[in-house]
Each structure stands twice: as C-alpha cells, then as structure tokens.
Amino acid sequence: MATRTTLAEPSLALLLDNAREAIIAGRAAGIEPVALLLSSADYAQVTRTKQREARVGLPPVVLGIEIRPDSAIREGSVRIVLP
C-alpha cells in the first residue's frame, strides 16, 4: 500500500515521490505524462524554487513534465495529466 507523506511546507521532492509510481507506470506503458497538477499553494512553493526558469518565461518543468496549478487538488497531492 502506498504511503503519502506531507510536510508543513511543500517539497518538490516529496510531491514527485507521491507521483512517482504513476509516472513510472505510464512511461513503462509508453504514455508520457503531459503535466503534473498541484494545489495552488504547492505550485507557488515549487515555482519559487524554480525562479530562474520563470525569469526567462519558461513554464516550471520537472523530469520533462510541465507543472500546473489546479485549485481542485489538495495540498501535498499531485494529479498526473495524460494525453
């Protein structure tokens, strides 16, 4: 059974770890995720850590997957968008 860990402040590594199994399974099946959806608070925290990309107008990307905010996602969770 998968375990979810949460922290008071979001961690990019923790968010990715929560999504890792689904990303790996999709890639193994030949399905590349289009985006990772994060809560607005988690998205804000992650984009603060990726300010260099933002300064040059690039969307935040992790493991080649764009990160997007979604107000329907609860903090500490990740939803994977598939094609």
Indicate the pTM of the whole model. Answer: 0.74
**Torsion angle of alpha carbons 28, 29, 33, 38, nearest 10°?**
-80
Q: Smallest Cα–Cα separation from 67: which of 75, 52, 44? A: 44
Q: Give bridge partners of residue 81 from the DSSP assignment.
A: 35
DSSP SS3 for 68: strand
Mean pLDDT of all residues in 68-80: 90
The first and second tokens of residue 17, run together, are: 């770890």
Q: Give bridge partners of residue 27 from the DSSP assignment.
A: none
Split at pLDDT 50, 70, 90, the class of 71 is very high
DSSP SS3 for 75: coil
Q: Are 68 and 80 in contact (CB under 8 A)?
A: no
Mean pLDDT of all residues in 44-64: 83
